[in-house]
Structure 1
Amino acid sequence: MKTLEVHQIVQNMKNSLFKRANSFSIGMLKSHFRGTGLKFKEHQVYVHGDDVRFIDWKMVAKTNTPYIKTFEEERNVEITILLDCSPGMVIGHNGKSKLAAAFEIISLLYLLSEKTHDYIETIICLNDRVVRVQKKRGEAGLVAFVDALRKSNVLNTVGEIDTEYLVSQKERNFEKFDAELVREFYKKREVVILSDFYEFLSPETLKRLTARKHVHAFRLLCPLDTSNEFRFSVIGRIAGKGSGKVDARLKGKVEPLDFGFRLKDINVGDRYLEDFVKEML
């Protein structure tokens, strides 16, 4: 894909973000993503009640006036995003798939990281391999992310999700996949998981890892995951008959998955960008 085409896709993603109400201006996600230390901000005159541990005695000696040092949090947070690209992620609601919603969430994080000076590494999890996007922030990171999606065949040349490629993937080898990704959870960085968790890591591994405070697991849902009975459409290729659209009625109750570990649900039928940010605040 040419660089110009990549930037056009990035611009389309950004335009989509700004159409969704307060999605870009809710906040800077300061509550969950913590920095690694403090850095000096300025001196202030000591007043009764200030912590005496922060008195700058050198300033006292020079000015004969007590001053204290004030500090601000030094963020420099590194965030690893695990993006599930299994076949189930192409399902969605009103033309918005779970995977497309995940793309917008990741785009939002990249754009916010420019303001918070954080770095983001995205790991694209296909069924047969993982693709690592180099650690970046801001629009440069978003461009690298889109380019990696294109080279992995997740996106086609015009920036649309290649559904046919994704649904034709082989079944995931969970043992191999666990070994590839588990070490990411033990690094000193925040981990964000975007998946529907039907075909991701093994349940035993997920239950152990999501108990860690720095792991934020978001389960992307659509009406098919939660509704009792509704009409739905399937667009695909019928053997021997070319492509077509099939309407069907799903009867009976679809039981939502209960993994027994901490998950935060994001429904692509709702205002999912706002829901994501509220969960992170």
Structure 2
Amino acid sequence: MSVDHVERFELARPRLQAIAYRLLGSVDEAQDVVQETFLRWHAADVDRIEVPEAWLTKVLTNLCLNQLTSARARRETYVGQWLPEPLLGGDPMLGPADTVEQREAVSYAVLTLMERLSPDERAVYVLREAFDYPHREIAEILEISEAASQQVFHRAKKHLAYAQARPAVDQAAARRIVEEFLAAAASGQTDELVRLLTKDAVALGDGGGKVPARTRPFEGALAVAKFVAAMFTPAEGKRAAVGGPPEIYAWSANGEPAVVAVVAGRVVAVMCLEVTAEGITACRTQANPDKLERATAQWARADHGAPLLVM
């Protein structure tokens, strides 16, 4: 394979990684399918491929569909609640975020809800909503009719429909939300937390069997407030479990406000806050160390300043 062909693939790699991550919710799995796509590109008669970008997207998407089918079986035996791998603000794998639809499609809330979708629904939704592929091209990628692509898209949107729209949250807004949330949590007064939460708020976490995490979500504002207040109450046992006193920062992950807990430079937990016009409606915490390696690498490169809280 010529240097030009390799360079062409490398130019496409960021887009392919972003598609794969949104489809799979896992950095390692996304990188694996991108590498497999490169191997197939390397083995192909590239000079005979008329539209390389379309060819690469088709190969990648079908590899992801295969991965999603096998992932469903693996997640049935996963210890506890399965949540996607969070990406901290500024991570290039988040992909395009120019439109509301693109930001929504990579939000932690939507990535979690996409577990409800069939592989085909997930593929059509991501390609259409996040990358603005026309249904004609999506139909060619998935080898279905254009009408079928439109139907699958509408079905996926229906499954992911929200009762309340979420406001746009930039880094500054995310910090303000997290600061208020942490102040209420650290005060130990559940009334303040209840005020910030919606009545039907939920809290859930993913420890992957490696870190203690409740297998069932906390439901309702009061239950979530009590859980959060307890979580942010300093205790020796908690410090021992993570290897030292966690430093707590306000950040963003997948476009949502996030609480980042760091011990000796290692990200040990990321709590994403789903915010609606009515308040915080979900707290989703990723604490599985296998799903925080990229977050730790990104954190090391970030200018994050001083922590808001040390536990």
- The normalised TM-score by structure 2 is 0.25
More strand by proportion, 1 or 2? Answer: 1
For the pair shown, the structure with the greater C-alpha radius of gyration is 1
- The normalised TM-score by structure 1 is 0.27
More helix by proportion, 1 or 2? Answer: 2
